[in-house]
A and B are shown apart, each in its own frame.
Chain A
Amino acid sequence: NAGVTQTPKFRILKIGQSMTLQCAQDMNHNYMYWYRQDPGMGLKLIYYSVGAGITDKGEVPNGYNVSRSTTEDFPLRLELAAPSQTSVYFCASSTPEVNEKLFFGSGTQLSVL
């Protein structure tokens, strides 16, 4: 059982470049989330989705876009990378009940230079 799979694990971008962080889960979870983790700052919610075709903004959505065309996939798009987006990005999924646990991917370390 693969759980939540994120790719790539590491990436270096130049300012202004674009990229997509991939996230896939094989647990048939309805809920999926994108977080960023900055050093000493904990996790901030970027976007989340409660099902295919439904997405909503979290605390820090500016500079990012998401789509949810299938239950399994929840890609995160950076259109014009900026140094402020240097961070570790985590994708997570869960079942619809709010007190169910989040399953996290292993993260993508992104540097924008």
Chain B
Amino acid sequence: GDSVTQMEGPVTLSEEAFLTINCTYTATGYPSLFWYVQYPGEGLQLLLKATKADDKGSNKGFEATYRKETTSFHLEKGSVQVSDSAVYFCALGNRDDKIIFGKGTRLHILP
């Protein structure tokens, strides 16, 4: 079945460092891909999405490009802030109407 694999956390970085969180997927057909973020004590919220190959999703300085050839959707940000500390989930949506999430990656940003 469909699945999402993302890098294990926690990831700890200093403020203004470059961030990459890796995500790869297995799916039939052409799924939509998402990154969700969960701040402490809250539910998940959509950060960005891409619906077809070579699309780039972006929001709040974060970017991710849909790479069909490598089945990847890595999340990047050029300069992280303390306020970016959260858990990040990679996810895919396919034609069977279900959204499948990865296990999440906890990010800690040190001032």
Contacts and interface: CB of A to CB of B under 8 A. Distances in A.
Interface of A: 4, 31, 33, 35, 40-43, 45, 48, 50, 58, 90, 92, 94, 98-99, 101-102, 104-107
Interface stretch (B11-19, B69-77, B78-86, B92-100): B92-100
Given A98-B32, A99-B93, A101-B34, A45 B98 contact: yes
B89 A43 contact: yes
Nearest to B47: A101
Chain A, interface SS category: strand
B93 to A, nearest CB: 4
Nearest to B92: A98
Q: Which of A4, A40, A90, A102 has the most CB of B within 10 A?
A: A102
A77 to B, nearest CB: 21
Given A48-B97, A90-B43, A99-B49, 8 more contacts: A42-B101, A45-B98, A90-B44, A92-B44, A92-B99, A102-B46, A104-B45, A107-B42
Interface string B30-61: 00101010000011111001010000000000
B49 A42 contact: no
A43 B4 CA distance: 11
A104 B49 contact: no
Nearest to B93: A98
Contacts of B93: 98-99
Contact of B99 (A50, A102, A106, A107): A102
Nearest to A88: B43
Contact of B44 (A45, A99, A104): A104
B89 A42 contact: yes
Contact of B43 (A31, A94, A98, A104): A104
B43 to A, nearest CB: 3
B105 to A, nearest CB: 10
Contact of A58 (B34, B43, B98, B103): B98
Contacts of A43: 44, 89, 101, 104
Contacts of B98: 33, 45, 48, 58
Interface string B99-111: 1111110000000
